[in-house]
Chains A and B, each alone.
Chain A
């Protein structure tokens, strides 16, 4: 039986060389493209042309106070800077999907509900086209 569905717990996310996988429990990598309406008079339906591509990534997880490898230690200094974002939705392994993209760390949020764990989230805006490939 060929297994094509992948469990989310296997995913890997890195900021630069720093894996924050173990502190992360949700990630959304969005890739989009501008859509231009080129409909002209006399047409009976809209027609479109594709334009510039864009992308954003949102990651979030459970806060960890680890001084060197925790999300705060990695993401706060990176605010407003470009980082290399690596995303392995299927986990690590030769031949598995990989997306690597330069991205600006635009927002970092820490949330502390009184009756639960401290959590964090981070929004990144892709800069340039992502390299969508397979891991070697």
Chain B
């Protein structure tokens, strides 16, 4: 599984959500609303014999808006929805990937996310990726 390609493909998938800025890797100069593809939190090699497949866990960070702005709640609900044009889960899972066989958004948690010293209303999406070894 080529993780660089995977990050780019995740970015492309989430970029189908209108108005959402997507970053393939964590970095600076993030402008909300934004989705940031986090680095893998766990990589499990050798899910099958002969380097047949690997599996990894990663987190997608959604930053809807600054918490001080007291706005963005409605947009957040759209991103959290399981389906629809603004659904992060739908956008990620509906895409076609060359770097992975399966990309599954397992869960989402709402909370404050701090980036570059600013606290944002946001959510984290725990995602499992399975692909060729």
Contacts and interface: CB of A to CB of B under 8 A. Distances in A.
Contact of A117 (B50, B51, B102): B102
B50 A62 contact: no
B48 A62 contact: yes
Interface of B: 45-53, 101-102, 106, 130, 132-133
B113 to A, nearest CB: 25
B82 to A, nearest CB: 14
Interface residues of A, number: 19
A115 B128 CA distance: 10
A100 interface: no
Given A117-B102, A117-B130, A21 B50 contact: yes
A73 to B, nearest CB: 16
Contacts of A19: 50
A78 interface: no
A9 B54 CA distance: 11
B132 to A, nearest CB: 8
A9 B51 contact: yes
Given A62-B53, A117-B130, A25 B106 contact: no
Given A117-B102, A117-B130, A25 B48 contact: yes
A27 B46 CA distance: 14
A117 B10 CA distance: 20
